Structure formats: structure tokens, C-alpha cells
Amino acid sequence: MVKGKLKKTFTDPLGKNNPVFAQILGICSTLAVTNKLENTVVMTLGVVFTTTLSSFVISLIRKWIPSRVRMMAETLIIASFVIIVDITLRAYMPDIWKQLGPYVGLIITNCIIMGRAEAFALNNTPGLSLIDGLASGIGYSYVLIIVAIFRELLGTGSLWGIKILGSWWTNWSIMIMPPGAFFMLAIFIWIVKGAIIPEKEEAKK
């Protein structure tokens, strides 16, 4: 039973309860930072780090958090981890830090982190919360990375800044502009929700 819950905690956010395409959370950063794969990967690492550790810490002290100030406490904890990510990038990856600009700071507004803290970490043990946070982060990350791969490839003909498509390729500039993110994400959600998830559910029945 315990093992089953552990597995479910980990696999749910990756599949049918994915924060991005099932809960439609964290959309702002999905739209904003997915036009270059490199930036996306750094961003998702930051989110995985923050959501994992903040869920863990919030769960750790959940019994002492007064319910009236719980959101304040959560925000404080999340913000601290975000600042740590920001400082670390600034010190060790200054070029990427410059490119990501304000988006690293905006991890704090990522609804996934607050959502997992409220919905899961406050009611579950630290170990389980850590797994939930990690899985939610990964669930968020792979969607962003897939969207970013398509956007960068179609928009600039390159991946990770390396030219993939030859000179015959005409860049779809729209892909690297904000509307491209809407199209890509919508197509992604459409495919996943329309084709993959229902099949799985039917198979279960």
C-alpha cells in the first residue's frame, strides 16, 4: 500500500495529473522561456530544485505552521529557494543568468510550486512531499523541453544553438515569438489530452 502510494505520487504528475497539460499550471513560464532549449533547461532545473526542496521543507515544518499565516510562510520558503537559484546562476553561469533575466525571479510566481505546497506538502510526510515536488518539477520540465525543442528547431533551425537544419530551411519566426508558444502548447495539450490519455484510461477499464 505504502509502496503503491509512493509510486502513484511519483507517476501522477508525470502523466494524467501533469501540472502543465492536466492542471494547466505554470503556463506563464511555459510561454515565456521556451524559445531556446538551453534557457528552458536551465529554467526547468531551477523549478525542479525549488519545487522539490520547498515541498520538502514546508512538509517538514507543516505541524508548526499556523494555518492563518501558512501562505506567508510558504511564499517565504519558496522565495528563499528561488533567490538561491538566482544567486547560484549569477555566480556560476553568468551568461545564462543574463539571458534568463527576470524569469528566474519569477519562478516564485510559478503556480506549480505554491500549488504543490498547498495541495500536497501541508498534508503529507516530508519524504512523500519531496517525491511529489520532484515529480511535479519533472512533469513541468519535460513538457517545457518538448515545446522548446519544437520552437527552437522550427523557429531558428537550430537546437541548443547548433544549426541542425540546412540553409534550405526557412525559419518560422512566429515560433520564437510569444504567439508561437501559444500554438505549440495548444497543439501539445490537444495531442496529449485527445490521443494519449483517453487511450490509457480505456485500457485500464
Sole binder of other proteins in the list 122, 176, 185, 192 (CB under 8 A): 176
| Contact residue for other proteins among 24, 28, 72, 187 (CB under 8 A) | 72
Question: Which letter does DSSP use for residue 122 in this model?
Answer: G
Contact between 30 and 143 (Cβ < 8 Å): yes
- Looking only at the bridges linking them, the beta strands covering 158-159 and 162-163 are antiparallel
Query: Taking the complex as a whole, how short is the minimal distance between the CB of residue 72 and other proteins, in angstroms?
Result: 6
166 makes contact with other proteins (CB under 8 A): no
Residue 60 CA to residue 195 CA, distance in Å, equals 39
What is the closest distance, in whole angstroms, from the C-beta atom of residue 45 to other proteins in the complex?
A: 17
Q: Nearer to other proteins by C-beta: 77 or 138? A: 77
A 10 A CB-CB count for 11 gives 13
Name which of residues 135 to 164 contact other proteins (CB under 8 A): 152, 155-156
Q: Is 65 in the site for other proteins (CB under 8 A)?
A: yes
Q: How far is the CB of 23 from other proteins (least distance, A)?
A: 27
Q: What own/partner pairs with CB < 8 Å and gap ≥ 24 does 116-119 have? A: 116/19, 116/51, 116/55, 117/54, 117/55, 117/58, 117/74, 117/77, 117/78, 118/71, 118/74
Q: How far is CA 98 from CA 13, 35, 91, 141, 151, in A?
A: 31, 15, 11, 21, 21
Interface pattern 22-41 for other proteins (x via CB under 8 A): -------------xx--x--
Binding site for other proteins (CB under 8 A): 35-36, 39, 61, 64-69, 72-73, 76-77, 80, 83-84, 87-88, 90-92, 94, 98-99, 101, 152, 155-156, 171, 173, 176-177
